[in-house]
Amino acid sequence: MRTAESKRVPREAVSALRDRLRREGRSVVFTNGCFDLLHRGHVTYLEFARAQGDVLVVGLNADASVARAKGSARPVNPEADRAQVLGALECVDHVVVFGEDEPKALIAELEPDVLVKGEDWAHYVSGRETVEARGGRVVLAPLVAGRSSTRLIERIRATEEGTP
């Protein structure tokens, strides 16, 4: 059994990972996100993504890119912790941390067969052109209503303030 730590792939090793998986004839699925406070919506989403192919590679936003996207109070959990938690999930095969605001360059390096994003991103899927140009497909995952890290943080704050 692989450990959570062994699932982490250094960014500079992505091309070698791609080549190995291609030689093995495995279809590669890619998705990305902050995955700050892992919750049911994340797990459902990641299991859906994994079901789209043979190998799931998760691009994880580095701390600085999370802060740029979500504000200086985020992430709540540092990237090493978030990577460890993601790697512990059975449905996740590899975790790659990236520092850019979007994963377009990482997707170009990995060249996945399937790119998965939540249906809330239907208006823009970073890397779509790269995947579709190679004959791959983009799949929009259904969301679990009412489940998000932002909403979870709001509930925690309300609980601390004594508001149910």
> Domain of 75: which CATH number?
3.40.50.620
What are 15-34's pLDDT values in tens digits?
999 999 999 999 999 999 99
**Total count of domains within the chain:** 1
pLDDT for residue 27:
98
Provide DSSP, 49-107: HHTTSSEEEEEEE-HHHHHHHH-TT--SS-HHHHHHHHHTSTT--EEEEE-SSSSHHHH
Residue 71: give the domain boundaries: 5-160
* Structural contact between residues 63 and 75, judged by C-beta atoms closer than 8 angstroms: yes
**Structure tokens, 69:** 């996207």
- Distance CA(145)–CA(15), nearest Å, equals 36
What are 71-83's pLDDT values in tens digits?
998 899 999 999 9
Model's pTM, two decimal places? 0.90
Mean pLDDT, residues 88-112 taken together: 98
What are 112-160's pLDDT values in tens digits?
999 999 888 788 999 999 999 999 999 999 887 666 666 777 777 777 7
Q: Name the CA radius of gyration of the chain, rounded.
A: 16
